[in-house]
Amino acid sequence: MKYTIAIALFIAPFYMVLSSMPAHAAWTAHKFKDDFTGAVVWNAMGDEVSPESPLDFPYRGTAAHIVIGKQNGELFAAIVFNGSINIVGGSYGVYTGAVAYKVDAIIDGDRETITMYQTNSENDTLRIRYVDWFINKVRNNDTIKIRLQWYGNGGVVFLFHTDGAKKAIGQFID
């Protein structure tokens, strides 16, 4: 009994701190300058999230985050993973040297389809095809849930929170 009380008193402060923290933090924006070309690159990104159900080996520990950016006046949007991805069901050649995917999404409760593509040189990134449309969705909604058809794992769902995205993206997009 004495030990139970001691353990509870030790753990309670940590629980109070963790329970007062938000479930997800706001987005952040970063500005970089290429030392060789002088080009300025902006990007804003949300928290890294894990899939709703863990993936099988060798993809255990997979996580992703949404990145919105601007380089040389061009906007880009992508889902960037912390390792190689193995998505199935794409169409090769729709975009030169890339595989295109039609991805099921739920954006603030509304069903959508997002066209994404993966180039040969980016095995950890799914780029968004309709960048302006996607940026608008990220800026003006609270959540984006996507389902990817992952080799050997079936439909894998990622839920991204967009709290603070509007402010972070607004630092480089009007």
Render pLDDT for 76-91 as a digit per residue (tens, 0 to 9): 999 999 988 888 888 8
| Fold of the CATH domain 24-169 | Immunoglobulin-like (2.60.40)
Sign of CA dihedral 124, 129, 132, 134: negative
Which pLDDT score, from 0 to 100, does residue 25 have? Answer: 56
The percentage of residues in the chain with a pLDDT greater than 90, rounded to a whole number, is: 59
Which pLDDT score, from 0 to 100, does residue 93 have? Answer: 66
Beta-strand relationship, 143-150 and 98-107 = antiparallel
pLDDT < 70 stretches in the chain = 1-25, 93-96
Which pLDDT score, from 0 to 100, does residue 97 have? Answer: 73
Query: What is the pTM (predicted TM-score) of this model?
Result: 0.80
Which pLDDT score, from 0 to 100, does residue 72 have? Answer: 86
